């Protein structure tokens, strides 16, 4: 952020964190909306229609900025395949678990990203990330172990959700490898279209069915336009004003909003398990999003610019170092579940 002559931040810079918070709230609201609709509409049908609407509106708004060539088409298709698969698994999983647990388990992708990056690219994993893994494990246990009975409530819904979180982590890593500022909008549009195609293909075996109720159509438009297109605009604008690390920390509040909305609308009851497990999960996400201070200090000591580290000349992003790049730096597209 930059300040004016009076030492105060410009209004736009001061509003950027609020924009990210509103975006995280909207993302959190998708869980209880989807959970309610899944009682009447199949996940593949719902997602196919939702992302088709989002892709058409998105493309109509930004069509003049699209860069269409073999590279962007291929990369967008891969992004759509990964993201669409994650969406399907997460949404089907949501039909078998609560909105709050789905929100917290989906958030594990923040912790999984540096771990997966280390496995794929032999990147270093910071000690803070391992602490985050431990906290996430504690949170998972608190959310899924039934008190007193000693039973683990870990079924198909939780399993599908964690697999989707793994795919979201893969999606973030691949986005970081191929996305540039010039291609960001194009890849986002192609990804949204690819997700729509994949979900519609998944809906074909049982036949594509549209919502039959007016309120379901209103909810679908809310998911596609407000939680999809609008949040993409908010994120793109806000992250041009605020650094990646605070952005990632603010976005980590999404599961809190998912649980809050589910409790407020009466889908779920507040419990100590949700409080303890959710707090551990969110703390793990925040720890995973923080930068490596020792590396930043070293860059400053050597006279290098810590705010603008060396970039890969081919892709315009940092070389892989697990946990050294905050989550927000990878993201040029809407968040999972949105």
CA 224 to CA 55: how far, in whole Å? 9
Classify residue 128: in a domain, yes or no. yes
Closest by CA position to 158, among listed 104, 81, 88:
104
End-to-end Cα, the chain, rounded Å: 27
pLDDT exceeds 60 at position 229: yes
C-beta of residue 113 within 8 angstroms of C-beta of residue 69: no
74 vs 25, 48, 234, CA distance in Å? Answer: 32, 20, 27
Q: Which two tokens stand for residue 335?
A: 């968040």
Q: How confident is the model at residue 197 (pLDDT cuts 50, 70, 90)?
A: very high
Q: Is the confidence at residue 202, as pLDDT, over 70?
A: yes
pLDDT at residue 327, rounded to an integer: 37
Q: How many domains does the chain have?
A: 1
Across the chain, mean pLDDT equals: 78
Band of residue 112 on the pLDDT scale cut at 50, 70, 90: confident
DSSP assignment of 223-280? IIIIIIIIHHHHHHHHTTTS-HHHHHHHHTTHHHHHHHHHHHTTSS---HHHHHHHHH
Residue 181 placed within a domain: yes
Are 176 and 325 within 8 A, CB to CB?
yes
Contacts of 185 (CB under 8 A, 6+ apart): 62, 65, 66
User: If we measure between CA atoms, which residue out of 269, 282, 276, 337 comes closest to residue 143?
Assistant: 276
Mean pLDDT of 50-58: 91
- Mean pLDDT on 64-82: 92
pLDDT of residue 315: 34
- In the predicted structure, residue 298 carries a pLDDT above the cut 90: no
| pLDDT at position 99 | 85
Both tokens of residue 247? Answer: 């952005």
User: Can you tell me which residue has the tokens 């997966």?
Assistant: 116
Residue 55 placed within a domain = yes
Q: Are 56 and 197 in contact (CB under 8 A)?
A: no
Q: What is the CA radius of gyration of the chain?
A: 20
Q: Is residue 4 part of a domain?
A: no
pLDDT at 150 over 50: no
pLDDT band at 272 (very low <50, low <70, confident <90, very high): confident
Give residue 255's domain range: 11-307+315-330
Report the distance separating Cα 77 and Cα 190, nearest Å. Answer: 7
What is the distance of C-alpha 23 from the center of its chain?
11
Alpha-helix runs per DSSP H in 148-239:
156-178, 184-203, 214-221, 231-238
The answer to whether position 6 is within a domain reads: no
Q: Are 268 and 100 in contact (CB under 8 A)?
A: yes
Confirm whether 235 is domain-assigned: yes
Q: Which of 150, 159, 177 is nearest to 74 (CA)?
A: 177
Q: Give the model's pLDDT for residue 313.
A: 30
Residue 2 domain flag: no
Cα 48 vs. chain centroid, distance in angstroms?
19
Q: Collapse the DSSP code of 311 into the 3-class scheme (helix H, G, I; strand E, B; otherwise coil) and give the result.
A: coil
For residue 22, count other CB atoms closer than 10 A to its CB. Answer: 15
In this predicted structure, the answer to whether residue 45 has a pLDDT above a threshold of 90 is yes
Can you tell me which residue has the tokens 């610019």? 305
Please, which pLDDT band fits residue 147 given cuts at 50, 70 and 90? low
Region class of 244: left (phi > 0), else alpha (psi between -120 and 50), else beta = alpha
| Listed residue (89, 71, 46, 125) closest to 324, CA to CA | 125
Is 256 within a domain?
yes
Least confident of 140-154, 181-195, 233-247: 140-154
Averaged pLDDT, 68-81: 93
pLDDT at 338: 61
């Amino acid at each position: 952020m930059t300040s004016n002559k009076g030492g105060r931040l410009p209004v736009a810079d001061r509003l950027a964190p609020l924009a990210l918070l509103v975006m995280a709230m909207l993302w959190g609201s998708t869980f209880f909306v989807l959970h309610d609709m899944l009682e009447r509409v199949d996940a593949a049908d719902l997602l196919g229609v939702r992302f088709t609407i989002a892709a058409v509106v998105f493309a109509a708004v930004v069509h003049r900025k699209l860069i269409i060539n073999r590279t962007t088409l291929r990369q967008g298709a891969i992004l759509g395949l990964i993201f669409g698969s994650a969406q399907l698994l997460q949404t089907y999983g949501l039909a078998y678990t609560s909105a709050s647990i789905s929100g917290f388990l989906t958030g594990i992708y923040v912790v999984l990203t540096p771990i997966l990056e280390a496995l794929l690219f032999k990147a270093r994993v910071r000690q803070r990330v391992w602490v985050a893994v431990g906290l996430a494990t504690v949170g998972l246990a608190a959310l899924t172990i039934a008190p007193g009975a000693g039973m683990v409530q870990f079924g198909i819904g939780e399993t599908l959700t964690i697999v989707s979180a793994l795919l979201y982590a893969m999606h973030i890593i691949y986005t970081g490898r191929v996305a540039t500022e010039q291609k960001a909008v194009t890849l986002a549009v192609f990804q949204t279209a690819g997700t729509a195609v994949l979900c519609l293909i998944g809906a074909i075996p049982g036949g594509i069915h549209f919502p039959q109720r007016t309120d379901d159509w209103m909810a679908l438009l809310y998911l596609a336009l407000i939680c999809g297109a609008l949040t993409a605009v908010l994120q793109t604008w806000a992250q041009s004003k605020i650094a990646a690390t605070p952005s990632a920390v603010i976005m980590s509040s999404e599961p809190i909003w998912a649980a809050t909305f589910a409790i407020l609308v009466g889908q779920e009851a507040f419990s100590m398990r949700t409080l303890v497990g959710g707090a551990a999960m969110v703390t793990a996400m925040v720890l995973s999003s923080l930068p490596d201070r020792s590396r930043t200090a070293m860059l400053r000591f050597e006279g290098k610019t810590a705010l603008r580290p060396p970039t890969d000349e081919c892709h315009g992003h940092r070389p892989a170092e697990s946990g050294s790049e905050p989550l927000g730096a990878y993201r040029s597209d809407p968040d999972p579940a949105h």
